[in-house]
Each structure stands twice: as C-alpha cells, then as structure tokens.
Amino acid sequence: TQLLEQSPQFLSIQEGENLTVYCNSSSVFSSLQWYRQEPGEGPVLLVTVVTGGEVKKLKRLTFQFGDARKDSSLHITAAQPGDTGLYLCARTPTNTGNQFYFGTGTSLTVIP
Amino acid sequence: DTAVSQTPKYLVTQMGNDKSIKCEQNLGHDTMYWYKQDSKKFLKIMFSYNNKELIINETVPNRFSPKSPDKAHLNLHINSLELGDSAVYFCASSHGVGAEAFFGQGTRLTVV
C-alpha cells in the first residue's frame, strides 16, 4: 500500500484568503501529480512535478515538490469560490507498478 | 466527445444481486483502471489493466472482476452485492509511465 497523507483533511475559508495543502509520504516519488475533483465529477489533473525542489505555478496555484521528493505542497493565493473542490495528490505509475496511488484528499470550501 | 465514459451514472440495487458497470475510452490509451471512492472521499485503486497485464489490488474481494473485451473497454462486474459495496466507482485511463490519468464521471452504486 502506498500511503500518501494529506493535510488538512477539511478546509473552509473566506474568499480572498490564502491556503496551503500538504501531501506527505515516507516513500520517494518518481513524480507526483495534483488533481482537483468537483462534486459529481471525476478528478482532473492540475499539475505534474518531477524534479526535487521544483516549483510550478498555475495562475493563483503554486505547487512545490520537496527536495527529497517525499512531499509536496499546493498553495492557493486569494482563494475564490471556484476553487472549491477535493484536492488529491497522486503518486504516478513507475516502471515497477503501473498504478496511480492517491492521497487521502483535502476538501476545500471557499465561502463567498 | 467524452474521453472516458462510464454507464450507468447511478445504480441502485438489492443485496445479493449481480451488476456490471461499463467503461469506454476513446483516447487510444493503453492502460485502464477502476477506482472505488468511499464516503470519506478516499480514492482507492481496485484494478489496473493493459493488454499485457492485469494488476489486482489484494484487498479487492473476488466478487469483483474486470472484463476487457478490447483495448478501449474495461467493464466491472460485481457478484453478490453487499451493503459495503456502496460507493462511487471511477474508471480511468492513461498512456505511458507518469502520464495523466483521465477519469470518467463516476458511477454511484447504492446497495439496499
């Protein structure tokens, strides 16, 4: 079992606030992805990070991959109601096992 | 055109029944997956399958069986349904190691 712990599990904030979501594992990732899932839909890919220490930005979202490639964070600046959803980190398939393993999830609600 | 489509979207059935969920992808991907998302929103891998190999998560009861008539389809058959099988089931596909996973909209299964 590939256990990816996300924190916090639930987050409810006001529009305009900043927030950070964390994804941690005891294992080293070859690469890691972040997905967002909206109610009634399947998860949709936001970003893939590959290199330790890598930082990627997607508009108001900033993704960082830990130097040791065991953890990652997602920071949202000036959150908006449209950011509401379930955020999932995922360990991508490797050469030895072709399965995506998802984190425990962070459910974000942005209140207008 | 929907990339990954699964049917039905909702399924309500009685305990002990046998049911199937269908999944089709038109992306030309080589690997397809089934995930179970429980009430806590944890997305757990059940199966992954490509035209070479079926990988079964060891915690999946043998009442669940994937059936792949061709590369674009991976159906999920469930025998002797139990109350604990109630969940949302997602089909997904991807192509290559480290690639993006594309998800269907999910099938909400309710066993009564």
pLDDT at B108: 97
What pLDDT shows up at residue A1? 52
Give the CATH number of domain A5-111: 2.60.40.10
The answer to whether residue B99 neighbours chain A at the CB level (below 8 Å) is yes
Instruction: Report the relative pairing of strands A106-111 and A85-91 from DSSP bridges.
Output: antiparallel
Mean pLDDT estimate for chain A: 92
Confidence of residue A72 (pLDDT cuts 50, 70, 90): very high
Read off the pLDDT band of A96 (50, 70, 90). Answer: low
Range with the poorest average pLDDT among A48-52, B19-23, B106-110:
A48-52
- Which chain B residues have a beta carbon less than 8 Å from that of A44? 103
**pLDDT, position B54:** 82
| pLDDT (mean) for A23-32 | 90
Indicate yes or no: CB of A94 within 8 angstroms of CB of B97.
Answer: yes
More confident residue, A30 or B26: B26
- Chain B residues in contact with A88 by the CB 8 A cut-off are 43
Could you tell me if B100 and B33 are in contact, meaning their C-beta atoms sit under 8 angstroms apart?
no
Q: Is the dihedral of CA A54, A60, A61, A64 positive or negative?
A: positive
Nearest CA to B48 out of B92, B108, B88, B3 is that of B92
With beta carbons under 8 A apart, name residues in chain A contacting B106.
40-42
Per-residue pLDDT, B110: 97
B80 and B33 in contact (C-beta within 8 Å)?
no
User: Does the pLDDT of residue B63 top 60, yes or no?
Assistant: yes
Per the structure, how many domains does chain B have? 1
**Residue B14 structural domain:** 4-111
Task: Identify the residue with better confidence: B41 or B53.
Answer: B41
Q: Please compute the mean of the pLDDT values over residues A89-101 and round it to a whole number.
A: 76
Please report the pLDDT score of residue B95 as a whole number: 86
Is the pLDDT assigned to residue A97 strictly greater than 60?
Answer: no
- B45/A100 CB distance under 8 A: yes
Residue A5 banded pLDDT, cuts 50, 70, 90: very high
Contacts of A45 in chain B (CB under 8 A): 100-101
Q: How confident is the model at residue B30 (pLDDT cuts 50, 70, 90)?
A: confident
Cα distance between residue A78 and residue B85, in whole Å:
39
Would you report the helix, strand and coil content of chain A in percent, each value rounded to 5? Answer: 5, 50, 45
Contact A41 B105 (CB under 8 A): yes
User: A11 touching B, CB under 8 A?
Assistant: no
Per-residue pLDDT at B2 = 72
The nearest alpha carbon in chain B to A34 belongs to B100
What percent of chain A clears pLDDT 90, i.e. is strictly above it? 82
* Rounded mean pLDDT, B74-98: 92
CB of A38 less than 8 A from some CB of B: no
Q: Domain holding B38: CATH number?
A: 2.60.40.10
Structure tokens at A93: 């398939």
